[in-house]
Amino acid sequence: MVEFSGIKEIIKPENLVYKKTNIMTENILSYCPGCGHGTAHRILAEIIDEEGLQSEAIGVSPVGCSVFLYYYLDIDWQEAAHGRAPAVATAIKRLFPEKFVFTYQGDGDLAAIGTAETIHACNRGENILIIFINNGIYGMTGGQMAPTTLPGMKSSTSPYGRDVKTMGYPLKMTDIVASLPGSYYVTRQSVHTPANVKKTKKAIRKAVNYQKLNKGTCLIEIVSNCPSGWKMTPVQSNKWMEENMFPYYPLGDLKTPEE
């Protein structure tokens, strides 16, 4: 392993502040440089590690950029057909009620082809956690327009920008889920700055603990960037996301359980 280190005298086990958790495998992530998926994976792995859920957790991986998620987290996985992750997770949770079951989906998976599955799983109040990565584009297939693409945003299938007259308005999936009686905890976060990473980690920890109560579906939307799909550098894309995505998808809790 090639390493580059700072001051050697400080590098001792007792001074360790932060290290990649062992739940993350040594496989190199297949994502583009600067993609929010990697950060989201890492904090999810940290929560699973810190809550001691490695043998309890069963994940359902989607179709999309994060299709190879089962290579990166060392827990039990099930691959689902495109968009059908909440349906598969429903079955797993009903067969193994004591396990922690979650799905990890992108916006093309959850908000386009899997809209029906998502809404009905949340409406039934299945005791699963849905992690929803929203980057406003179909990243894996080359940056086509997704239901979550912003008005006027250019993509490879809307080269003059999304025209809301012919292509409709962006779908706020998280707001729809928050209005359903079956959902228990619904929040929207991001992972582009250290402060937001900490907030997202807190939200995931909360959701994991709510799952133990069996009160309903938890959904965490993570507004993320897609440097390759948006044709920007990672740092530019994070700035663009702050300026354009956040006004339309404001961060914060949409539904919190009444204490």
Partner 1 sequence: MAKIRGSIVVNVERCKGCEVCMVSCPTGTIAMAKDVNGKGYNYAFPANPELCIGCANCAMVCPDGVITVYKTKI
Please give the Cα distance from 105 to 169 (Å, whole number). Answer: 21
In the list 52, 159, 181, 194, the residue contacting partner 1 (rule: CB under 8 A) is: 194
How far apart are the C-alpha atoms of 168 and 150, rounded to whole Å?
10
Q: How far apart are CA 233 and CA 21, in angstroms?
A: 27
- Piece of the chain touching partner 1 by CB under 8 A; list 117-125, 155-163, 182-190, 233-241: 233-241
Q: Measured from the CB atom, is 1 or 52 closer to partner 1?
A: 1
Structure-token match 């239901």, residue found: 147
Concatenate the DSSP letters of all residues of 87-104 into one string: HHHHHHHHH-TTSEEEEE
Under the binding rule (CB under 8 A), the answer on residue 38 touching partner 1 is: yes
CB of 17 to partner 1, least distance (A): 4
Q: Is residue 2 a contact point for partner 1 (CB under 8 A)? A: yes
The 198-227 site mask, x for binding partner 1 (CB under 8 A), equals: x----------------------------x
Here the tokens at position 132 are 């929803």
Q: Which stretch binds partner 1 (CB under 8 A): 22-30, 74-82, 106-114, 155-163?
A: 22-30
User: How many Å is the maximal CA-CA distance in the chain?
Assistant: 63
- Only one residue has tokens 């086509």, namely 144
Which of 141, 169, 233, 253 contacts partner 1 by CB under 8 A?
233
Report in angstroms how near the CB of residue 27 gets to partner 1 at its nearest.
Answer: 10
Amino acid at 55: S
- Strand 100-106 and strand 129-134: the pairing is parallel
How far apart, in Å, do the first and last CA atoms of the chain sit?
Answer: 49
Nearest distance in Å: CB 251, partner 1: 16
Contacts with partner 1 by CB under 8 A lie at 1-8, 10-12, 15-20, 24, 28-29, 31-39, 42, 191-194, 197-198, 227, 233-235, 238
